[in-house]
Structure formats: structure tokens, C-alpha cells
Structure 1
Amino acid sequence: MTVIWINGTFGAGKTTTAGNLVNLLEGARLFDPEHVGYLLRANLQDQQFTDFQQLLPWRTLVPIVMDEIIRFTGHDVIAVQTVLVESYWQELESGLRSRGHDLIHVVLDADADSLHTRIDGDPDGVDIRPWRHEHVDRYLTARPWLTAAANLVVNTTTNPADAVAAQIRDYLANSISKVG
């Protein structure tokens, strides 16, 4: 089965693109790695961390939970999660590949001004806007390794989410036809 991991920072269009993509791909379902983090936060209240991804159990459990969902449903999975630390990405990638899954790493990219404008325009998460804005700089720092590690990089600065989802679908169709 295939895992399509949509990466990029806040404002890049990951969630909207993933919602469109799941409608374009038969037998695909959304998976939110954040929920694994919620489970860990509830059970590791005595531990110090500022982000779920800092926890080795998160990086270990996400591939395991995804694998179990794939095995249970028989569906490909679309994961939406920003991962800006290269070693964390390598752990997730290794965990998924070791379970026999094809992994398509898609990075949604946009210029910094567009990202900041989208963050300010998002009616959800007004209270965490400063945190989201800080992640834009972290994303720009991580961009070189992210784009090098990606199977597909899509510029979302001017492309709407439905067009981005169609581009990902077309990439997947061409990738599968070359393998088969």
C-alpha cells in the first residue's frame, strides 16, 4: 500500500489539498499523525516537551498506527503533517518503509509572504498565529533538505488546492504506471 505524506508549513495548503486529494483517489483515507500526539500527551503528562515530534514514541508509533490502519482497511493513506527536522523525517520514513509501504513524500511550498498572509487569514487558530508564523522561518531553514527528500514539490503560491491535488494525483498515476 501507499502512504502519501503531505509536508510543508502552516499556510501551504496541506489540509485543504489532502481533503481534495482523498476525493480524487479511490480507496484512500486521511490519517492525522497529530492524534498519536494527543494520545501521548494524555499519557506522558509528567514529561517535558513542546512538540509531539520531539518524543521518540511519536516517531515510532506513527508508522505503526498507519500500518495497522492500512492493514485493517486495505486503503492507501494520506498523512498531513509538517515535519521540519530531517532526522525525525528519516525515522518516520524508515518506519514506514520497513513495514513494506511505498512512501510518496510531497512538499507543498509557497513564498514566505503568501504563507504569512494565509496564516493571518485563517479564522481557525487565531490564538496560535504567532507560533505558526515562527514555523515559517523554521520551514525556510528546512526547505533545502525537504525539497531534496521529496518525491514531489508543488508550489502553492498561486495554485489553488484543487489544482495541487490534481497534480499530486497525476504524479501518483505516472509513478505507478512506471513501476507496473
Structure 2
Amino acid sequence: MALLAFGAMIVWLNGTHGAGKTTTSAIVQQLIPDSRVFDAEKVGETLMDISPGLPATDNFQHWPPWRPLVVETAKRVLDYTGGTLVMPMTVLVEEYWREISDGLAQHAIPVRHFVIHADQDTLYARIAGDHDTPSPFRLNYLEPYAQAARTWLHAEAEVIDTTHLTPYQSAREIAEAPGN
């Protein structure tokens, strides 16, 4: 059942790895008519496939082409399809978020920025529950997420505390957010 039509825009789901962005985005997409999920990680994967490789990094977001390519890809998809893009993507570096959000604003693409949040114990439990051995990659982002949340991220977004919510409840909260 569709709840709301957002119109041509982006619903960005931010938050740390393991918070539930991917699961929630699939449900949000079902609740918003004429919407699609666009995972900007695929842009990073494309850059990782360049051979010979780009300079070594621990995160493709550090490559300068990633951010404008995300903006350009989102713009091109919206130009082609219209509707809403639901984008589950962790961005914890404020400078990177500004570059992306400013780029989208230059194209007059409205963005609703949500943070899928949970307390640290819940995040650890979710990450540990994903596999027999918790993902070191995901665990390594718990502290950078906490730092970003304290310093800029929560002030820049609508925070959905999912500590005690199911992914469906979280998605519904996003789809029913005031102002949509």
C-alpha cells in the first residue's frame, strides 16, 4: 500500500553500516509511489573496477570522482524516470555530504535526508547477528558514526531512532514524515 507521493526528489537514508538502511530502503520504496532504490555504492564499485586501479584507499568515497558521479547519476536517472530515488548510503564525512547535497541542489533536486540511527549496543548486536563472525568493516565504522552524529550528522538530517523499531516501522515513519 502506498502511503505518500513525494514527487521528483531523493530520500537519502544515511547512518552507519549495519543500521538497516538497505532493508529499510526496500520497504520505503514500496510505500512511495513511483520510486526506485538507487544504491550509490554501485558507483563506488564501478570505480573499484577500473584497471589499473585508482590510488589505494580504505573507502571509495575518498576518491574525488565518486561524489560528483553520484550526483550526476542521480540527476540522470531522475531526468529519465522522474519520481523518487530512495538512496541508502552511509556518508560520515561532512565535506562529502556537503559536496553531494550542494551538487543535487544545483540541479534543483530536493533531498529529504534521514539518518537511520540506533544506539551503539543495538548496532553492535545487528552487525554481530548478520554473520557468524561480525564484519570488521562494519564494526570499524561505529566510532566514526558516533563522532559524525555528535558533530554534524544529526543536525543535518531527520533522525529515525530504530533502536526499538522494526524496519517496516522505520520505513513507515520515513514515508509519513511531515512535510511530504
Tell whether the structures are fold-level matches, with TM greater than 0.5. yes
Among 84, 103, 118, the alignment partner of 2:111 is: 103
- Hey, what's the Cα distance between the residues in 2 that align with 1:7 and 1:39? 21
C-alpha contact (below 8 Å) 2:127/2:134 kept by paired residues: no
Q: Does 2:19 align with 1:2?
A: no
Structure 2 unpaired stretches of 5+: 1-7
| Greater mean alpha carbon deviation, residues 67-76 or residues 24-33 | 67-76
Residue of structure 2 equivalent to 1:132: 138
Amino acid at match of 1:76: T
- State the alpha-carbon separation in 2 of the partners of residues 104 and 64 from structure 1: 18
Give, in angstroms, the shift of residue 12 of structure 1. Answer: 1.4
Provide the residue aligned with 2:31 in structure 1: 24
Q: In the alignment, what sits opposite 1:160?
A: 166
Rounded Cα–Cα distance in structure 1 between residues aligned with 2:179 and 2:128: 36
- How far does the alpha carbon of each residue in 1:6-27 deviate from its partner, in whole angstroms, 9 at most, with x for none? 0001221111111110000000
TM-score (normalizing by structure 1): 0.91
Match of 1:56, SS? coil
Distance 1:140 1:47 in 2: 28
Letter in 1 for 2:164: T
TM-score (normalised: structure 2) = 0.91
Question: 1:83 is paired with a residue of what secondary structure?
Answer: coil
Secondary structure at the aligned position of 1:6 is classed as strand
Displacement after TM superposition at 1:131 (Å): 1.5
Contact kept? 2:128, 2:134, Cα under 8 Å? no
Q: Distance in 2 between matches of 1:85 and 1:118?
A: 23
Structure 1 moving runs of 4+ over 2 Å: none
Q: Would the alpha carbon gap of residues 140 and 93 (structure 1) be closer, same or farther in structure 2, given more than 3 Å must change?
A: same
| Deviations, residues 51-71 of structure 1 (Å, cap 9, x unaligned) | 110011001110000100111
Q: Tell me, in whole angstroms, the C-alpha distance in 1 between the residues paired with 2:140 and 2:34.
A: 36
Q: Do the aligned residues in 1 keep the contact of 2:36 with 2:85 (CA within 8 Å)? A: yes
Paired residue total: 171
